[in-house]
Amino acid sequence: MSKSTTTRKNPSATVLIVGAGFAGLGAAIRLQQAGIRDIVTLERADRVGGTWRDNNYPGAACDIPSNLYSYSFDQNPDWSRSFSGSEEILGYIQAMVERFGLQKYIRFNQNVTDLAFDDELGVWHATTEAGEVFSGRAAVMAQGPLSNAGFPDIPGIEDYQGHKIHSAAWDHDYDFRGKKVGVIGTGASAIQIIPELVKEAGKLTVFQRTPAWVMPRPDFETPDWQKTLFRKVPASQSALRKGLYLAHESMALAVIWDSPVTRMAERLGRWHLKRQVKDRWLRRQLTPDYRIGCKRILVSNDYYPALQQPNCKLITWPIARLSEHGIRTVEGIEHQFDAIVFATGFDVSHSGTPFPVRGSGGRLLADDWKRGAQAYKSINVAGYPNLFLTFGPNSGPGHNSALVYMESQIDYIVKGVKTILSRNLKALAVRDRAQQEYNEAIQQRLAKTNWNSGCKSWYLTEDGFNATMYPGFASQYANQMKELDLRDYSLVTA
């Protein structure tokens, strides 16, 4: 849709939320429960769901148990299995909208192109591609870190004449049966796609740049008696959730820091590989040469078996370029394909923003983040009053459910908005010094983690700055978010 030459202004709201995925809908629920109902949620698509709406490729599923990858204030007793697929997760999100009556807050097909703070009025203005302007005393950026997907920058990508498919924009109309298919990438999406494609493709060729640590996946169907128990005794499901939470917390000792538990996790990963891959040469190709946790750990029971199917081949030579008919690797061999699947991940912004965000005095957030994204407690940025981030800098989990972190952020946002309203503030602005001290401490702690131990990953910028992960337990993150310390903020009354 082209941008209109004129804009239409809508009545000002208390809170603007950008995005109707898990974060945006969760924020709307908690604000509503706190008595704040003057909310506008701007969603670029025509339905809710965020990453679980967009990622519907074959085999898409979550790698965190369903009872933990859901909100504690809206638990679902009817999960079909311990690790649910994307369709079921999307159904949970859609049902959440119905249960909490969120439809009235959402404006669909409103792709935000500019978000700007008005110093004089103390409000945020969001301009959309549809030519409308929405305003609010506070703004919540809940568009998510895994929301912008694009084809990778590989030489010759425009020359390829076959069918191109990105994992985050799956073509369900394409018939893979009997086709020669190439898959670029062996990350979290690829290891779910490959076992499904190998069932249909005539020949499947997988291009691996770096082998990953792959762990077994304890995935089971949920028995009917358990669903009945959870419905009749909700406390039983809360107890299971607590147990899963604590189990994942313990994994931080293996994933985040180098410890004896790290060695144990690596032995488990090698055992899983040796148990499923008998061929020594293939096993060598699939063995990581970096410390576990440095890159994202993957979980799968069917990835290794898929690679060993007669119609599947693993290529570890680096890709030189794409050609008219396929992929050319550095040793000079051209592999020809009917279709290429790009399971190459997302454009995770370490320093930029998905659209211009203009703070006090017209300053640009992308400019302030040129040397690396920083925020106070991952949620507020100096110079951007009344703006709250979800999954902001250094709030990424490496071992526990993202929704545990998200709930802490949402509750903090509610405290911030209530402070703005109760004190009739024009601006609630975090102080530069508070942000600087917080980030200095974060970076000192990150220097001692596995993420910063030397491998290249999407957690880091090109120069090695980690603006993504939180260097601690989920409980530590939650504890820091329990209090909104006004000494770290400047307050401007209306």
Residue 156 lies in a domain: no
Residues 6+ apart with CB under 8 A from 115: 18, 124, 125, 126, 127, 139, 141, 355, 356, 357, 358
Q: 389-411, pLDDT tens digit by residue?
A: 999 999 999 899 999 999 999 99
Residue 172: the pLDDT is 95
Residues of the chain with confidence (pLDDT) below 70: 1-6, 146-149, 346-352
Q: Determine the structural domain holding residue 465 and report its residue range.
A: 9-146+349-493
Residue 346: the pLDDT is 61
CA dist 310 and 330 (Å) reads 25
CA dist 468 and 350 (Å) reads 7
- What domain count does the chain have? 2
**Residue where one domain finishes, among candidates 307, 342, 377:** 342
Q: Are 49 and 27 a contacting pair, CB within 8 Å?
A: no
Residue 44 lies in a domain: yes
Residues 255 and 283 occupy one common structural domain: yes
Q: Are 373 and 434 a contacting pair, CB within 8 Å?
A: no
Strand order in the sheet with 339-342: 163-166, 339-342, 180-184, 203-207, 312-315
Residues 46 and 109 occupy one common structural domain: yes
Residue 72 lies in a domain: yes
Residues 99 and 135 occupy one common structural domain: yes
Residues 191 and 303 occupy one common structural domain: yes
Residue 372: the pLDDT is 86
Residue 69: the pLDDT is 96
Q: Is 77 helix (H, G, I), strand (E, B) or coil?
A: coil
Bridge partners, residue 127, by sequence? 114, 133
CATH at residue 178: 3.50.50.60
Residue 256: the pLDDT is 96
CA dist 332 and 155 (Å) reads 15
**Residue where one domain finishes, among candidates 342, 374, 396:** 342
What are the C-alpha distances in Å from 439 to residues 10, 92, 456? 37, 35, 22
